Structure 1
Amino acid sequence: MKLPGFIKNNIVLKITSLNAVVIFIRLIVSVFIQRLLAVTVGEAGIANIGQIRNILAMLSSTSTLGTFSGVVKYVSEFKDNRPELTKVFSSATAFLIIGSVISSLVLFIGADYFTGYVFDSTEYSYVFKLLAIIVPFIAFSRIISGVVSGLSDYKKYAKIELISYLLASLVLVIGLYSYNLDGVIIAIAIAPIIQLVTLILIFGKTLNRYVKFKNFKLNLGYRNSLLAFTLMSFVSAFLINFIELEIRTIVTEDININEAGYWTAINFISKNYMVFATGLFTLYVLPRFASINNRTDFNKEVINIYKTILPIFFAGMVLVYLLRNYIIELIYPNFLGMEPLFKWQLLGDFIRLCALVLAYQFLAKKLVKSFVITELISLVLFYVLTKIFIDTYGTEGVVIAHFVRYIIYLIVVIIFVQIYYKRQSKIDAL
């Protein structure tokens, strides 16, 4: 099927439409998988699956020392300079080796401790030992994905994402029917191997053209440049997933594991509709803010974005709320404890959208300190407020904390953006 002319001639619309197709297919498959898991392993199984997914997300940061965003940036910058590109890849590989060795050793040696801490049981010790072996695959997959993104090879990226996701889903279903929850956890753990193989098969020749492996030597020439991204990744990838893991553990211990399953399920729904917003921010908001250098134009653009996207997302969220019981029945049959969580989760996500539009200014202008401070405030608020509210409101207290956290986060982000433009005004006046 050919794309309409107005899409074909617009690179942003082409990328958006291609990503939308991939996201839609993934969403359909994901709904099927989640329903299958909900019916088969129940609330407790969903909670345990949420824990292992958070651990994998944390490992994607520690195994590469958080260099993914740096790889994307410098590959994009040097894609026409092959020798420099090889140096970037070489430095990232050195970070990868250090991160992988440390992560693998910590996981393997501490397997019994981690399984007791995360699952309150010793039966999953083998999972952490398996992950210790798989860590290098996670790392290489992450770095090569960064090269794909940096080269803006969106067609290959979409193909890799879709094929690896479908194959991983197939392995998950086979694992579920063969070994129940243990099979699912193993399937999730080996998903990075599937992604790496898919990456090499689809992108291997292209990677070889850009990175001269014949002259490849490990070096740390870009260590200082990449270390800034290590800090940002530690906050945005590692700590966020660690806090989620901690909160799921708190709900399990203070209430029960079924309630932890309800919160994991509402998080899954939230992350699926927030994917569309993230794509829009990456494709439009980030580059647009990067080109704006004064407060007046920034304010106009923010108002324009709010007027354009907020009504659409508000309408979508209202629809999700009105159809919440049907959504529960479709994806998570008998997870009736989810129903009270929708209101606060949706309200929190809407405020989060408002805040993220402004927070992308930190990324656009490479304001590392502002990004780190505001993210840390957000995470600390979420954890502390959850501890406070859960005693009074139960699991609903977690999503109330989510809502209150983002109201405060929005105010903090506004203050930091205002401080940035005040400083810029003083610099311009000199």
Structure 2
Amino acid sequence: MNLIRTSLLSLIATSVKMLASLLIGKAVAIVGGPAGLATIGQFQNFVQIVLTAAKGGLDTGVTKYTAEYGGDEGKRRSVLSTAAWLCGATCVTVSLVLLIGARPLSEAFLMTSAYAYVIRLFGLTVCLFVVNSLLLAVVNGLQETRTYILVNIAQSLLTLFLTIGLIAWLGLVGALVALATNQSLVLVVLLWAIRHHAVIRWSNFRAGFDRAEAVRLLRYSAMTTVSAIVSPLTAVLVRDHIAGTLGQNAAGQWQAMWYVASVYLTVVTTSLAVYYLPKLSATLDHEDIRSELKQAFLIVMPIVTLSASAIYAARKWIVQLLFTDAFRPMLQLFGWMLLGDIVKMASWLLSYLMLAKAMTRAFVVTELLFSATFVLLAYVLVNRHGLVGVAYAYTANYVLYLACIVVVTRRFWRPVPFSAT
């Protein structure tokens, strides 16, 4: 299955996911307004951080080594069993932290202890999410794209129905409860889909702990954990600064713009996760890597550029449809944010090489460095230019990041010098 076919299948799954996200976002905007959307954004970022810690950032490594070991059943069983041991340890630890520290965590991220019960509920269900994430990583590594995408479609629909039902019943609190539980309840869909699977069997996850495989997985854990924790933490810091400088409604405008960008880019990022990462991981020949990169750029960049252009042209209609009149100030963010998205996707196509080739040090350093520069640029430019300053910071940061990644990954994509024999 090539990138084009995977992208088309991903488009179907993403269309469902986008529709679900749009309906959920509209419901939150109506119930809570800009301030409510900012609160939901804070909790979403908290959920991302917790879920990454709970699964130990191991899903990318599981995908890579499941794909790389191919038909070697012994090695594959070893990596699955080792991953299960590691995930079990991390999810139990995180669950206890959530249950014990619910009140201070609620005060730190949601500015009130009133939602401590939501965090305790999250603590009770987080281990189910870890199981769901681990099994999906295995399906992805086996390159069973059809199953992977169909499960994602079903899970998106279940999330939609549960979330809309809870919002209708409990209002903004319902949205928080949905965020705390939906990631775990969708496990039932995946278990049904793989009930007769030849590889994903209980026996393959209890073969013991392999120290060498653990070291390999933890190298990936370091990369994915840093990325998945630093990104939402950065968003929290930037949103807090906007709220403290310009008010909670301004933070909600920024959250709405971030939400629009994340929704339309999902089709591309899904394709990269489903096809691109396993393919790069399994590809060892220099010219084949160059070929995959070239194909990805030729397919992905025109799609992202056309999508961003269409969204910019329809920005007024999008704000009216997805949100309410209270969100009109976000219109000033579209131009620079969409430009930043184009640059971001170009940089991500190259940065996936660092994941695929286990460039742990380079990946961690660049993630930490450019998360810090985004926060710094946002603080400076918001103070100087107001709300639009955060969009300036977003684009400027990704321009710097792209320039850095071009240099860091050049040995994989530049032509091999010809040498006469």
TM-score normalised to structure 1 length: 0.88
1:250 Cα offset (Å): 2.1
User: Does 1:270 pair with 2:261?
Assistant: yes
Q: Which amino acid aligns with 1:213?
A: S
Which of the pair has the greater relative contact order for Cα pairs under 8 Å at 6+ separation?
2
Could you list the runs of 5+ residues in structure 1 that have no partner in the other structure?
1-9
Q: CA deviation at 1:189?
A: 1.0
> Any residues of structure 2 matched to 1:192-211 within 5 Å, and which?
192-206=183-197, 209-211=199-201
Match of 2:400? 408
Call closer, same or farther: CA 1:276–1:165 in 2, change over 3 Å: closer
Q: Distance in 1 between matches of 2:390 and 2:409?
A: 28
* Residue of structure 2 aligned with 1:105, choices 74, 79, 96: 96
| 1:358 and 2:350 matched | yes
Equivalent residue of 1:66, what SS? coil
1:145-186 superposed Cα distances (whole Å, 9 cap, x missing partner): 111111222222122111111111111111111111111111
Matched, 1:293 2:286: yes
**Residues 305, 373 of structure 1: alpha-carbon distance in 2 compared, 3 angstrom cutoff:** same
Question: Contact 1:34 / 1:331 at 8 angstroms: preserved in 2?
Answer: yes
In the alignment, does 2:334 pair up with 1:342? yes
Q: Counterpart of 1:17 in structure 2: which amino acid? A: L
Alpha-carbon contact 1:82-1:210 (below 8 Å) kept: no
1:318 and 2:309 equivalent? yes
Alignment gaps of 5+ in structure 2? none
Percent identity, aligned pairs only? Answer: 24
Shift of 1:419: 6.4
Further displaced range: 300-309 or 163-172 = 300-309
- Contact 1:72/1:146 (<8 A) preserved: yes
Q: Distance in 2 between matches of 1:82 and 1:285?
A: 23
1:332-362 Cα offsets, whole Å, 9 max, x none, are: 1211121111111111111112222332332
| Aligned residue number for residue 7 of structure 1 | none
Q: Aligned pair 1:367/2:325, yes or no?
A: no
* Residue number in structure 2 paired with 1:259: 250
Residues 307/332 of structure 1: CA separation in 2 closer, same or farther (3 Å cut): same
Aligned pair in 2 of structure 1 residues 75, 214: CA closer, same or farther (>3 Å)? closer
State how 1:364-403 maps to structure 2 within 5 Å: 364-403=356-395
Stretch moving more, 321-330 or 156-165: 156-165
Residue by residue over 1:19-73, the C-alpha shift from the partner in whole angstroms, topping out at 9 and shown as x without a partner, is 2111112222322222222112211221111122222222222112111111112
Secondary structure (helix, strand or coil) at the match of 2:329 reads helix
Quote the offset at 1:215 in angstroms.
8.5
The whole-number CA distance in structure 2 between the counterparts of 1:307 and 1:73 is: 24
Mapped to 2, the partners of 1:77 and 1:48 lie a distance apart of: 41
**Cα distance between partner residues in 1 of 2:64 and 2:133:** 14
Normalising by the residue count of structure 2, what TM-score does the alignment of the two structures yield? 0.90
Question: Separation in 2 of the partners of 1:412 and 1:182?
Answer: 42
Shift in Å, 1:107: 1.7
| CA–CA separation in structure 1 for the residues paired with 2:368 and 2:234 | 11
Partner of 2:41: 50
Alpha-carbon distance in 1 for matches of 2:242, 2:313: 26
1:235 to 211, 216, 226: 226
- Note if 1:219 corresponds to 2:212: no
Structure-to-structure mapping, 1:161-172, within 5 angstroms: 161-172=152-163
Q: Quick check: 2:40–2:176 contact (8 Å CA) kept in 1? A: yes
Matched residues in 1 for 2:253 and 2:400: separation? 25
**Superposition RMSD in Å:** 2.8
8 Å contact from structure 1 (residues 67, 227) kept in 2: yes
1:65 alignment counterpart: 56
Q: 1:66-107, CA deviations, whole angstroms, 9 ceiling, x for partnerless residues?
A: 111111122223453434333222211111121112212222
Q: Distance in 2 between matches of 1:215 and 1:60?
A: 21
Report deviation, 1:307.
5.3
Residue-pair matches, total:
416
Paired residue type of 1:45: G
| Aligned counterparts of 1:403 and 1:32: Cα–Cα separation in 2 | 28
Q: Which residue of 2 aligns with 1:37?
A: 28
Q: Is the 8 A contact 2:2 2:275 kept in 1?
A: no
Q: 1:250–1:379: structure 2 CA closer, same or farther, 3 Å change rule?
A: same
CA distance in 2: counterparts of 1:59 and 1:38, whole angstroms: 25
Alpha carbons of structure 1 residues 319 and 303: separation in structure 2 relative to 1, 3 Å: same
Of residues 42-51 and 215-224 in structure 1, the stretch that sits farther from structure 2 once superposed is: 215-224
2:112 alignment partner in structure 1: 121
Letter in 1 for 2:201: V
CA contact (8 A) 2:27 2:167 kept: no
Contact 2:333 2:388 survives alignment (8 Å): yes
* CA shift digits 1:349-402 (9 cap, x unpaired): 111122223323323433222222222222111111112112122222222111
Q: 1:28 to 1:89 in 2, by over 3 A?
A: same
Distance 1:233 1:308, change over 3 A: closer
CA distance in 1, matches of 2:322, 2:297: 31
Matched residues in 2 for 1:165 and 1:421: separation?
36
From 154, 177, 180, the equivalent of 1:186 is: 177
Amino acid at match of 1:355: S
Report the CA distance between 1:15 and its aligned residue: 2.8
Q: 1:284 to 1:312 in 2, by over 3 A?
A: same
* 1:58/1:218 CA distance change after superposition, 3 Å: farther
Kindly state the Cα deviation for residue 303 of structure 1 after the two structures are TM-superposed: 6.4
**d(CA) in 2 for partners of 1:280, 1:167:** 22
What is the one-letter code of the residue matched to 1:392? R
